[in-house]
Amino acid sequence: VGTIWASASHPGRGGAGVGRLAEVARSHPAPRIAIGGVTPARAEEAIRAGAHGVAVVRGIWFAPDPRGALIRYLEVVERVANPDPPIHP
């Protein structure tokens, strides 16, 4: 679902916003991936609005530390999508 936030990939177009993502989540049971202007901070908002995950290009591709950026995105998605991880003995 996108473009959620304004993105350099779509110059001159604003994003649809997380309200659109929530609307799609209410009306379609299929898994939803948020794309467009997603940052690690915005990833949490997207997941809470109904996304199952996020798609990112520039946030990783152009990051000074791509591996570190990827880890930050994964940590946010994992923390928000699985707030109660299983306890392992």
For residue 28, the model assigns a pLDDT of 87
Query: Residue 85 has what pLDDT?
Result: 63
pLDDT at 78: 87
pLDDT for res 88: 59
**Which residue stretches of the chain are H helix?**
18-27, 40-49, 58-61, 66-81
Kindly compute the dihedral angle of the four CA atoms of residues 36, 69, 54, 21, in this order, to the nearest 10 degrees: -50
- pTM, two decimal places: 0.82
Per-residue pLDDT of the chain (89 residues; tens, 9 = 90+): 989 998 888 888 889 999 999 999 999 889 999 999 999 989 999 999 999 999 999 999 999 999 999 999 999 988 887 777 666 55
Task: Please report where in the chains the tokens 């946030």 appear, as a residue.
Answer: 59
pLDDT of residue 87: 66
Helix or strand (DSSP H, E) at 33:
strand 33-35
**Which tokens is 61 given?**
């591709």
